[in-house]
Each structure stands twice: as C-alpha cells, then as structure tokens.
Structure 1
Amino acid sequence: MFPYLKTFGITRIARHTGLDRIGIPVWCAYAPNARSIVVAQGKGVTDEDARISAVMEALERAVACAPATATVEASQAELEADGHKALSLAILLAVGKRPLDPAERIRWFCGTDLTTGEPVHVPADAVLLDRTIENNRYWQSSDGLASGNTLDEAVFHALMERIERDAYALFQLMPQAARLARCVDPALLATPELEEMRARIADAGLCLTLFDITSDLKIPCYTAYLGPPPETLSAHARFTDVTYGAGAHPLAARAALRAVSEAAQSRMTFISGARDDLFAETYRRPLPDSTRRALEARPAGTPACETPAFADRAALLAHLAACRIGPVVAVPLSAPHLPFAVAKLMVPGLEHPEGARRQRHGLRALQAAIRA
C-alpha cells in the first residue's frame, strides 16, 4: 500500500511512541491537503502494527473524501418505483436539516444489505467524509468507516466499530452506580499482548480501569480509562488528564486490547497536540466527575464470555438479524484495483456516537432509558 501514499496525499509518517513514557506504539500519518482531518493516528502492539494502522486510517479517510463508487441522481420515489430499495437515513440528518422529501432528487450510493444480500441505495452525503462541503444535510463522521486488506476485512472492522459505538452510547445512559459496577479486572482477560500493555502502564506510574460495556447484542465490548493514580488528581484536574478508549470483538481479550491501546492513543493525542481537530479550550476543560469516578472504580464484575461462534461473518450477521438489527448496508468506496479496501457501513438501528445530529438518540437508547 505504501506506493499509493502520494496518490492519496499522504506525505509523512511519524513515530509518536516516544512522546509518552508508557511506550505503547502510536504512529501518525499526515495528509496536508486532506478534506477531513490532516493527522491520522494508529496504535498497535508493535511499532509496525501502529505504523500500518496510521497509514490505513489516513487512506480510508482520503478515499471517503472522494470515493471511487459511482453515484445515481434520483429521488427516493423514483428509485422505489424502479424496484430499488432506498433508505433516507433520517437518523443521520444534521442539526437543523429537514428530512428528505420522497420526490427530491439527490445523489445516492448503492450498497448491499449484508443481512439479505439485496442492493440498497443510501444518500451520498451521508457517506462522504468531506469537511469542505458546507451546510451538508447529513452528519459527517468516520463512524462505520473502515479499511482492510480485503473488502470483507474492511466490513468486519466497520461492523465491530458500529457495535462498539452502540454499546458505549448505551453504557453512557446507565446510572452511574450501574456503570461503575461494570468494572472488571483486566488480569482475567490475560493475553501476552494485554499483559505487556498493563505492565507498561504500571511501570509508567499510571492507573488503568477496564469496564465491560457489552450490550444485549452479546458481542464483547470494553472501555478503558487511563490516567494518574486517582489520589494524585487535584480538584482542578483537566479533561486531558484522563483518557479513554473502547473496542469490540467476538473474542473478549481482543476487544479489551483494542480499548486499552485506544486509551493510550488518546493520551498521545493530547500530549502531541498534533491533531487539527483539537483546540485550546479542550485543554482548559475540567475533568468531568464521571470520568474521575471511572478511574477510581474497582473491579466488581466478571468479563464477558468470548463468542467464537460469531467470528464468522455469516454467523455474526445472522445473530444481529435475530436481534432485529438491520439493515446492515455496506458501501464499498475504494477502487477495485487497489491493494486495500475501504467501506462505509450504515446500520441505522444501532446507536451512534455524539455528534451534531438532528436526532441524538435512536430507538435502542430510548428503550434502554425506559428500562433504566
């Protein structure tokens, strides 16, 4: 993939690992003329893993700015009259934007509903990640955007991210006591890679707490908090003093590893200050009490069981369909001749992360709030 970096505007790759005393590998890739963010980050167990991760994130964002996928200009009514399925994706409308009129002509991408195999059209503006577009009708986000060596791999990564974001959104809606009760001992998920990360964090004099945020979908999800020992945090601690990360995977240990490495990457983001979506006020924000409490939490629960049966994509999709999660629309974005693939996954039935959307929560969040 490295011969293609220049084509996609990626000019430099940098090792940020040494900026922090932890030593968990974090790299960055720079695309100065990017239409979204200029700096992409990657993390991993090794420097090579982190370097590739950063490059892949930069590539997927570059592709999502200008996809190789053809668009169709039509109204939803016209598409449906021709026998095509089309989703208006009202859940992704930006703040202040009106719903799509069935007779209004817009650009559409055609994807595939992975639960049925049927082609499905989705609004192009809900897929694109081009921050130069002003007054976009749909919320722009990298949520559900992923890359891989193959399209199947990209789709799997995207699906894990959507499941993770859904689980974290539901976790945030739980009462604080219920959230803190989800704290688990990382040692119970011990793998050589996770143990090495835990040792690095401890040797750096930092504290790690891990929470099992697995939702009713039963796909293991974790969130990790990383910061100074709670007793050393002053009353004036800042938002940037404690970072968190989240991860999902059919294998619980891998989900936890993703969460911990992402928390380390987030810490590096604040240390380096290199991301162009970080602003001075971020560093002035006080540490939320809920974050302080999360870092103070002590293990009380048992980690989620691994679900190896879901490691197969067909079984995972069948499980989601049984949970009434659908459609699951995959839109391939990269040109087929490239040695990597990029896809955007639209799963409107799952919750989304915070963002400037007309509708903050979906049905699953409302149901969870009622149950709480």
Structure 2
Amino acid sequence: MMKKCVVVIGEGFFAKETKSFLEKKKIEVFQVNSISELNNDLSSFNAVLSCSDEKNIKEDIFIQQFAVEYKKPFLRCTIDMEKILIGPWVIPEENVGCVSCCEQRFVVAHPQKEILRRKSEEFLEIKNENNLKMDSVTGLFFATIIHNQLELYFQGQKKDMLINAVYVGNQENSHGERHSFLQNPLCATCNLLPGDSPELATINFKEIYKSEERTYRLDNPLLNLEKLRNLYVDYRTGLITHIYRNQIKTRWMPFVVSEMPLFEGDVIEYGSGRTYNFYDSEKSSILEALERYVGMHPRRTKTVIHGSYKQLKDKAFDPKRLTLHDKSQYEEPGYGYIPYSDDLEYNWCWVYSWKEKAPVLLPETMIYYRLLNDNSKPRNRFVYETSNGCALGNSIEEAIFYGLLEVIERDAFLVSWYTKRPLTRINLEDVEDKNLLIITELIEAEGYDIHIFDTTMETGIPSVWVMMINPKENAPVKTYSAAGAHPNPEKAILGALVEVTTSFAIYEEVFLKDREKAAEMVSDSGKVQVMDDHVLLYSHPETLERFSFLFTEESKTKNIRECYKSWYEEEPSMNFTKEVKHLLNVVSDTFGDILIVNQTSSELEKSNLKAVKVFVEGMLTMSFGHQYRRINLKRIQQGENFFRQAVTIQTMDDVNSDPHPFP
C-alpha cells in the first residue's frame, strides 16, 4: 500500500484546517509556509498541495513546477474571494492541464474577461485581501473534498480525480461544481507545441474504406452529443460556454448555436448547426465552432520562420499564385492591409504540396484568419483570408475531402456571379430525400420563392446555388443566397437550403432598422465593408434586378436525376482514400497545386478529429468586404470557356463589378 504522506505549502486558516483534517484521516502531513523551507527535497512525500487563504496564481504555478520537477503530483487549493478552488491535479509526465491552463480557460470563458484578466494578472504579483473569512465548518467541508481527492490518488482511481478539472465551491453555502477543461496548447507553462517543421507538415495518406458506398463521413464513436458536451462545453472553463436553440427566429429548420468566446476582446465566435433535428444540429454547431477555433491561430505547432518571399523562395510557395488583391484596391475605402511585395517580411508555416508531394512554406497570415497579437515580430498581413477551405474530419483524408468541397462550392458560386452565367434550375420532384420537398413546400406556402440552380463546373462535383426571394414589395429581406457542393447532389442542396431557410428569418428581424444603410450600398459598392454587408445589400428590393441573368429565356429547368445522372446511375467506390486522391488529381490537373495545412490541435485529438485548411491554386476564394475582393481573371475566363465554349470576358472591365451576394 502506498505511504500516505503529503506536504501542504501555504499559510493561513485554510492550510491549517486542511492539515488538521488530513491528520485525523491518518495521512501524514508536513506543512510549510514556502518552498524554501523544503530545502529542495520532496523525496519523503507522495503528493504536494498548495493551500492558501489568498489566491496567488504566480505562487501556485511556481509550486506546481517545483513538484513536477521532482516528479510529484500536485493539487492546487486556494480561496478566491467567496469561492474555493480545488484543482487541477498536475501529474508528472502526463499531458494534463495545469494551473495556468485552468486560469486561461477561466479568463476566456468569463463574460467580463477583461476585468478577470486584469484581476488574474494582479494575482500573479500580489495577494488578495478581500476574501471572505472562512469559518471552521466551511473549512472542514472543503478539507473533506481535498481528502477525498488524495484518497482517489492513493487508490489509483484517476477517473474521478480533478485531472483536467477544477472544483469551484462557494463559501457562503458550501455548494460547488466540477468544471472540466482541456489543456491549452498555447500554455507557456506546459510548453507543449513543437516547432513547425517539414516533417510535421507532411500528409501521409492511409487506405480507408467507407461503411457504405454513398456515405462520405467515417464512423467515429466519440462524436455522440454527450461526449462532445463533456469535452468542450462548460460555462466556466469550456471552449464553448453556451449553446442555445434558436427556435423563435427560425420557423422551418432546427437551428442551434454554440458560443465560443475568443481570448482577445469581447469577441464571440459562433458555430451554427442546421439539420433535420435538434440533436444533430447541436452536434453540428459544436463541430463548426471547433473548426473555427483551430482555423484562427496555430495550435498544432509553433511558428518559427520569419522572412520575405525573396529570402525564402527556394522553399516557399509564391503567395501571388493564390491571387492577392489588385494594387488598385489599396486606396479603396476600408482597405486595411499592407501592400504586398516580395521583400515584405512575415511569418511562414510549413504546408503540404499535393503536386510536389513535399512540404513547402506558406504565409501564416494566409492560413490563419484571426491570429493572436504577437509583439515580438510584426504580422504584416497583406491579404484578406477567411475560413475558406477549412474542414473537420474523422480522418485527415476526410477533412481534406470536405475542405476541397468547400473550395469547389465557393469557386463555382463566384465564377457564376462574376460571369453572369445562365444556370440550369433544378426541379426536386424526383428527389430521394423527401424532406427537401417538405422544406421547400413549407417555405413556398408562406409566400416565399425558392430557386435551386446547378453551378457544377470542371470537377464534376455537384454544386448548387440556392436563392430565396420574398416577392412582397416591402420585404425586409428581398433575397438571400447560399451554396453547396457534395458528390451527393441532395446533400449539396440540403447544405445550401438549410443555410438559406435559417438565416432568412433571422435577417428579416435584424435588417428592419437598416434599410437606409442598405440603400446607400445599392448606389455605392464601396460601403460593402464586412460580411454582413453583403447580405444587407441584397436584402434591398432594388438589387433584385442584379440577378436577372438567372431568369432569362436561356434558363433551363431539369429534374435532379437528369441533372446529376452519374450519381443516381453509378456506384461510388468503397475505397474512400482512392476517391479523395482522385478528386485531388482532378482539381490539380485542372487548376494548379493544392496546398494542405494540418490544423489539428490537441483538443481535437481528444475526439479523434482532424482539421485542415485547403488552398487550390487558380480557383477563386471567398472574401468579404468589396474592398477585399480577390479576382483571378484567368480563372473567370477558364470558367466561361467551360460553360459557353467561348470567352467574352477579355478584361477586368468585363467582369461583374457588383459585390457578390454570398453570406
């Protein structure tokens, strides 16, 4: 049996009460006021506790590091104003969240994070003298919890220990809750991240088979809602702090939103889930939030290379090959980036080139769209980037596949818009998934029009543009557009349809007060500055005529089975990896190189998830704010030649100059 001997480091009432109670429970306790009294010797103790009446994060981290250095488990116990904090346990040689990870999660999740951050920073240096004074009954209660934690450790019952968790108790009523958190890959104390390298960027494909021919999501038993909630959702310490059903504003589809607060400022990122039921919608909203989390800032490796393209061009991918902003845009209202030159210095990350089958360098600011502040080196962002091409998967192959689908979807939409391409309208009468008919009929019964257009281009992947119109003269939102792409055309339509139906109702309320602003955008495209402005612009009735190219005498209508014969008549391969590689080859042969960034963080690994961002040279990428458009004339001409067998667009003056209507 393990010897029960612990050291309690700290002074005050809480430490004395804890020592007294533990001794009554036959645990040998040695109490000191500070580490210096131990003479750098922890050999006699099984565990180390910090126990203080006054929260001091800096001191707790110092004791934690001291314990870990001597390979002793550490448990933080402290009073924080009216609260008692017990945990986390930090176990040497195990990748578990530490005190610093816990405090960072506290700060980010807090609704007044700037206040808590300042308070936490002060606690790094000074002690708090405004705590409630603990009485003996309260002290006994929380000492009991500490004892229980120690007994769990002595008995090897790690499952119920406060590992990656903290107990938050209330002194006034002795109530408390366990709050789980994930180790922070950016934690300076844990120092987890390896330096970015070619080896870590290399993608090694594995042979993977589908469960069914027409299923493109692989099985993952960890992706049930309960497990996702337990891992990622907690109002005090979770990546996601709040989930709600948006039932009032959305009439046609179950719509669930996951709120994910970001570290800097009061910004909240949202993950949206739109499916046929609330269970899957909630799961989808969590996964979308996670996808955005890893797409904003590197959390898999530490960026280590800084320089210019001119300095690094022997191993770097030329960013100009991915279509940057035209120099004429630099002077447009709202343009906020540094003009690009080959001499501009910035951070670079290793990514995988599909054509070269080798790692290359790509600018960090093109990969991550919301980088945290870094005072050591200037970011020098020179191009607008979004989550375009970001995707999660149950394998790296699946993530790449869905990242490619998003790039294909948006390229097809933008080519259609910039060329004013006449599109074939899709009739859903012979659709397999009758829910699609039910949704469209519900919407049309309320007086709205739904139009589904085929935008499929060179890759052959079914791509669609779904457009909803309110025919009323005083409509608060006149039109709303969305796009989708998937080997199964019905999945492509569903993806766009649920976006349109859930968003339309929300914007009808939001835009009631913004009609004047929308009118200004109609006459001045330069006022379309951010993502929501694109939606607001096309909510205005006067913009309906901009879609006239979709409703001409040339426009055709086809049944879905006629439009996508190959899907309904041919059996896809069971070999998923073979299908992914085939699509990669089709895209790269048609357009150019494909760059793949592995963005999988340790938090995602807990659910066996992978994350990537995919770039395709030569395809159009989505941007928001008209001043940040990224138009590749060669691609537009290539697209026009594909569907017209002729090129009428010779210069940029021939390109549709109106801001795109993509949300």
Question: Aligning the two structures, in what range does the TM-score lie when normalised by the shorter sequence?
Answer: 0.7 to 0.9
Tell me the CA shift for residue 291 of structure 1. Answer: 6.3
- DSSP-derived class of the 1:146 partner: strand
2:282 is equivalent to residue 51 of structure 1: yes
Tell whether the 8 Å contact from 2:480 to 2:539 is kept in structure 1 after alignment: no
Tell whether the 8 Å contact from 1:149 to 1:341 is kept in structure 2 after alignment: yes
Tell me the CA shift for residue 214 of structure 1. Answer: 0.8
Tell whether the 8 Å contact from 1:73 to 1:105 is kept in structure 2 after alignment: no
Superposed counterparts of 1:94-133, under 5 Å? 95-96=329-330, 97-101=338-342, 104-130=344-370
- DSSP-derived class of the 2:402 partner: helix
Structure 1-normalised TM-score? Answer: 0.82
TM-superposition CA deviations, 1:120-173 (whole Å, max 9, x none): 221001111217769732212111122233332222221111000010011113
CA distance in structure 1 between the aligned counterparts of 2:467 and 2:400, rounded to whole angstroms: 27
CA distance in structure 2 between the aligned counterparts of 1:281 and 1:86, rounded to whole angstroms: 34
**Aligned AA for 2:289?**
A
Residue among 166, 169, 173 paired with 2:418 = 173
Q: Rg: which structure is higher?
A: 2
CA distance in structure 2 between the aligned counterparts of 1:131 and 1:110, rounded to whole angstroms: 16
Tell me the CA shift for residue 115 of structure 1. Answer: 4.3
TM-superposition CA deviations, 1:317-364 (whole Å, max 9, x none): 1222332x2211111112253322221111131112243437433521
Tell whether the 8 Å contact from 2:588 to 2:594 is kept in structure 1 after alignment: no
2:327 is equivalent to residue 73 of structure 1: no
Superposed counterparts of 1:285-300, under 5 Å? 286-287=540-541, 288-290=543-545, 293=548, 300=557
Indicate the residue corresponding to 2:318 in structure 1.
87
**Aligned AA for 2:232?**
Y
Tell whether the 8 Å contact from 1:209 to 1:294 is kept in structure 2 after alignment: no
Tell whether the 8 Å contact from 1:16 to 1:268 is kept in structure 2 after alignment: no
Residue among 193, 205, 212 paired with 2:454 = 212
- DSSP-derived class of the 1:171 partner: helix
2:603 is equivalent to residue 338 of structure 1: no
Distance 1:304 1:331, change over 3 A: same
Distance 1:104 1:173, change over 3 A: closer
User: Greater shift after overlay, 264-273 or 154-163?
Assistant: 264-273
Distance 1:33 1:321, change over 3 A: closer
Tell whether the 8 Å contact from 2:304 to 2:347 is kept in structure 1 after alignment: yes
Tell whether the 8 Å contact from 2:469 to 2:480 is kept in structure 1 after alignment: yes
Tell whether the 8 Å contact from 2:259 to 2:270 is kept in structure 1 after alignment: yes
Distance 1:272 1:146, change over 3 A: farther
Tell whether the 8 Å contact from 2:385 to 2:623 is kept in structure 1 after alignment: no
CA distance in structure 2 between the aligned counterparts of 1:135 and 1:269, rounded to whole angstroms: 36
Indicate the residue corresponding to 2:647 in structure 1.
371
CA distance in structure 1 between the aligned counterparts of 2:550 and 2:639, rounded to whole angstroms: 24
Tell me the CA shift for residue 19 of structure 1. Answer: 2.2
Indicate the residue corresponding to 1:186 in structure 2.
428
Indicate the residue corresponding to 1:243 in structure 2.
480
2:232 is equivalent to residue 4 of structure 1: yes
2:552 is equivalent to residue 320 of structure 1: no
Residue among 284, 294, 301 paired with 1:63 = 294
Superposed counterparts of 1:222-241, under 5 Å? 222-228=464-470, 230=471, 233-234=472-473, 236-238=474-476, 240-241=477-478
Distance 1:296 1:269, change over 3 A: farther
Tell whether the 8 Å contact from 1:207 to 1:295 is kept in structure 2 after alignment: no
CA distance in structure 2 between the aligned counterparts of 1:116 and 1:85, rounded to whole angstroms: 12
- DSSP-derived class of the 2:498 partner: helix
2:313 is equivalent to residue 42 of structure 1: no
Greater relative contact order structure (CA < 8 Å, 6+ sep):
1
Tell whether the 8 Å contact from 2:273 to 2:285 is kept in structure 1 after alignment: yes
**Aligned AA for 2:464?**
Y
Indicate the residue corresponding to 1:282 in structure 2.
536
**Aligned AA for 1:314?**
K
User: What is the percent sequence identity of the aligned residues?
Assistant: 22
CA distance in structure 2 between the aligned counterparts of 1:21 and 1:198, rounded to whole angstroms: 12
Tell whether the 8 Å contact from 1:189 to 1:303 is kept in structure 2 after alignment: no
Distance 1:293 1:78, change over 3 A: closer
TM-superposition CA deviations, 1:276-310 (whole Å, max 9, x none): 96479938951312466589788624523345658
Tell me the CA shift for residue 264 of structure 1. Answer: 1.5
CA distance in structure 2 between the aligned counterparts of 1:122 and 1:173, rounded to whole angstroms: 28
CA distance in structure 2 between the aligned counterparts of 1:269 and 1:132, rounded to whole angstroms: 30
CA distance in structure 2 between the aligned counterparts of 1:273 and 1:169, rounded to whole angstroms: 26
Tell me the CA shift for residue 213 of structure 1. Answer: 0.8
Distance 1:149 1:34, change over 3 A: farther
CA distance in structure 1 between the aligned counterparts of 2:380 and 2:404, rounded to whole angstroms: 28
**Aligned AA for 2:620?**
E
Tell whether the 8 Å contact from 1:247 to 1:258 is kept in structure 2 after alignment: yes
Distance 1:5 1:350, change over 3 A: farther
**Aligned AA for 1:184?**
I
Indicate the residue corresponding to 1:136 in structure 2.
381
Please list every run of 5 or more consecutive structure 1 residues that lacks an aligned counterpart in the other structure: none
CA distance in structure 2 between the aligned counterparts of 1:167 and 1:8, rounded to whole angstroms: 37
CA distance in structure 2 between the aligned counterparts of 1:59 and 1:139, rounded to whole angstroms: 21
2:661 is equivalent to residue 360 of structure 1: no
Tell whether the 8 Å contact from 1:351 to 1:362 is kept in structure 2 after alignment: no
